[in-house]
Structure 1
């Protein structure tokens, strides 16, 4: 399996924490530019995981959401941002299983 990078896309307050944590590919976008940046990153094949703010996720076109749901790679993970708690509790385990093809948490 090819190693990939991690990217983060969202508003200023969402992305700053990732910058401080040392993530290199952090893209601070305005509301109207987020979807375009996400599509660009998805097409680059450099990224294994792309974290997006839940606010951005809620603004995505339904066709893009459908495409994201069917993708195995990269894994797109919406995370809660400053607006509050998650309204779409993404099952990270299921996302990873879909990307890797097996359950990394399964007991032998």
Structure 2
């Protein structure tokens, strides 16, 4: 499984420089189609998205992205979709940060 990123050229540039190979460049007018494409790619396990880009989705698609566990959608910046800890817990079924008492 690969880590991928979706967003405009400026957003994905840093990820490309960090070595990410799966990059989906999207503009506001085609963002929804590109995120559907990225989510349907069987090789993508984690998809990083810009929180600001989520406003380009319909409410139904935003809910689907928010609830996705395969791939796990990680919001970077912007008005995110919630706590990363909760996403990991939902995806694998275990709270990795839970401290034993």
TM interval, shorter chain, is 0.7 to 0.9
**Which is richer in helix?**
2
Shift of 1:69: 2.7
**How many aligned positions are there?**
100
Q: TM-score normalised to the size of structure 2?
A: 0.87
- Relative to the length of structure 1, the TM-score reads 0.82
Cα deviation per residue 1:58-84 (whole Å; 9 max; x = unaligned)?
21111111112332211112212xxxx
Contact kept? 2:24, 2:38, Cα under 8 Å = no
Q: Name 1:36's counterpart in structure 2.
A: 33
Task: Tell me which of 76, 79, 82 is aligned to 1:87.
Answer: 79
Distance in 2 (alpha carbons) for counterparts of 1:58 and 1:77: 15
* Gaps in structure 1 of 5+ consecutive residues: 81-85
Structure 1 consecutive aligned stretches of length 4 or more whose deviation exceeds 4 Å: none
Q: Deviations over 1:38-95 (max 9, x none)?
A: 1011112211110111222121111111112332211112212xxxxx3336311111
Aligned to 2:91: 99
Q: Report 1:52-71 matches (<5 A).
A: 52-71=49-68
Q: Distance in 1 between matches of 2:81 and 2:44?
A: 22
